[in-house]
Structure 1
Amino acid sequence: MNVRFLAIFTLSMCVAGAAAQPNFSFYVSTNGNDSNPGTETAPWRSIQHAADTVQAGSTVNVRGGIYEELVSINVSGNASDGYITFKSYPGETAILDGTHLTPGARSGMLTIHNQSYVRIEGFEIRNYRTAEHRLAPLGISVTGAGSHIELLKNNVHHIEQTFDGRDGPGHGANGFGIAVYGTDAKAPITDLIIDGNQVHHLKTGSSESLVVNGNVTNFRITHNVVHDNNNIGIDVIGFERTAPDPAVDQARDGLVSGNLVYNITSRGNPAYGDEQSSDGIYVDGGTRILIEQNVVHNVDFGIEMASEHQNRATSYITARNNLIYHCNTAGISIGGYAPERGRTDHTAVVNNTLYENDTAGTGSGEFQMQWNMAGNIFENNIVYAGPHCLFVWNRSQAEQNRPTTTIDHNLYYCASGPQASKWAAASATVTGFDKYLESTGNDLHSSFSDPHFVDPAGKDFHPKSGSPVITAGANTGLPVGELDLDGSLRVTSGKIDIGCYQRK
Structure 2
Amino acid sequence: MLHLLLPVSLAASAAATATYYVAPPPTGSNSNPGTRTSPFATITYAYTKVMAGDTILVRPGTYTDYQSGWGLHLSKSGTASAPITVRSTKFHRATIDASGTTFSRRPYGVSIDGSYNVIDGFKISTSPGTGLRVDGDYNKVTNNEIFGSGLDPTNGYNGSGIFEGSGGLGNTYVQNYVRDNGTDGFDHGFYLCGDNMTVVNNVIVRNSGAGIQVAGYDGVENIHIYNNTIAYSGTRGIVLWPAQEDGGTTIDYAQIDNNIIAFNGTDGIDGCNPAGTGNVVSNNVIYGNAGTSIDWLACGPFGQGGFQVTVTNTIAADPKFFRFDDFHLRADSPAIDAGLNLGTAVPIDYDGVVRPQGAGFDIGAFELPVP
Aligned: 1:332 with 2:238: yes
Aligned: 1:314 with 2:220: yes
TM-score, normalised on structure 2? 0.75
Aligned: 1:410 with 2:314: yes
1:199 to 124, 149, 163: 124
| Structure 2 counterparts to residues 331-370 of structure 1, below 5 A | 331-340=237-246, 342-358=249-265, 363=266, 365-370=267-272
SS in 2 for 1:288: coil
Q: 1:301 to 1:24 in 2, by over 3 A?
A: closer
Quick one: distance in 2 between partners of 1:162 and 1:490? Answer: 43
Quick one: distance in 2 between partners of 1:26 and 1:197? Answer: 15
Q: 1:357 corresponds to which letter in structure 2?
A: N
2:277 to 352, 368, 374: 374
Quick one: distance in 2 between partners of 1:490 and 1:257? Answer: 15
Match of 1:234 in 2: 162
| Structure 2 counterparts to residues 132-151 of structure 1, below 5 A | 137-143=69-75, 145-147=77-79, 148-151=83-86
Whether the 8 Å contact between 1:236 and 1:283 is mirrored in structure 2 is yes
Match of 1:261 in 2: 178
2:186 to 269, 273, 277: 277
Identical pairs, percent: 19
Match of 2:154 in 1: none
Whether the 8 Å contact between 2:222 and 2:253 is mirrored in structure 1 is yes
Whether the 8 Å contact between 2:140 and 2:171 is mirrored in structure 1 is yes
What's the CA shift for 1:480?
Answer: 6.4
Q: 2:272 corresponds to which letter in structure 1?
A: Q
Q: 1:138 to 1:120 in 2, by over 3 A?
A: farther
Match of 1:252 in 2: 169
Quick one: distance in 1 between partners of 2:87 and 2:304? Answer: 44
Whether the 8 Å contact between 2:21 and 2:40 is mirrored in structure 1 is no
Larger RCO of the pair (alpha carbons < 8 Å, separation 6+): 2
Quick one: distance in 2 between partners of 1:410 and 1:324? Answer: 15
SS in 2 for 1:301: coil
Whether the 8 Å contact between 1:233 and 1:280 is mirrored in structure 2 is yes
SS in 2 for 1:327: coil
| Structure 2 counterparts to residues 55-454 of structure 1, below 5 A | 61-62=38-39, 71=45, 74-77=48-51, 117=54, 119=56, 121-122=58-59, 124-126=62-64, 137-143=69-75, 145-147=77-79, 148-153=83-88, 154-160=94-100, 174-182=106-114, 189-190=115-116, 192-204=117-129, 208-214=130-136, 216-217=137-138, 219-230=139-150, 231-238=159-166, 250-267=167-184, 276-284=185-193, 286-299=194-207, 300-307=209-216, 309=217, 312-340=218-246, 342-358=249-265, 363=266, 365-371=267-273, 372-386=275-289, 388-396=290-298, 400=305, 404-412=308-316, 450-451=317-318, 453=320
Q: 1:195 to 1:489 in 2, by over 3 A?
A: closer
- How big is the alpha-carbon RMSD for the aligned residues of Structure 1 and Structure 2? 3.9
TM-score, normalised on structure 1? 0.57
Segments of structure 1 that go 5 or more residues without pairing to the other structure are 1-14, 32-39, 80-116, 130-135, 164-171, 183-188, 239-249, 268-275, 413-449
Quick one: distance in 2 between partners of 1:332 and 1:470? Answer: 22
Q: 1:298 corresponds to which letter in structure 2?
A: R
Match of 2:4 in 1: none
Quick one: distance in 1 between partners of 2:121 and 2:17? Answer: 26
Match of 1:94 in 2: none
What's the CA shift for 1:337?
Answer: 2.3
Q: 1:461 to 1:156 in 2, by over 3 A?
A: closer
Q: 1:60 to 1:280 in 2, by over 3 A?
A: farther
Segments of structure 2 that go 5 or more residues without pairing to the other structure are 1-9, 89-93, 151-158
Match of 2:14 in 1: 19
Whether the 8 Å contact between 2:122 and 2:143 is mirrored in structure 1 is yes
What is the total number of aligned residue pairs between the two structures?
336
Whether the 8 Å contact between 2:71 and 2:106 is mirrored in structure 1 is no
SS in 2 for 1:19: helix
Quick one: distance in 1 between partners of 2:25 and 2:328? Answer: 48
What's the CA shift for 1:306?
Answer: 2.0
Q: Say which structure is richer in strand.
A: 1
What's the CA shift for 1:229?
Answer: 1.3
Q: 1:316 to 1:127 in 2, by over 3 A?
A: closer
What's the CA shift for 1:22?
Answer: 8.8
What's the CA shift for 1:202?
Answer: 1.5
Q: 2:280 corresponds to which letter in structure 1?
A: I
What's the CA shift for 1:180?
Answer: 1.2
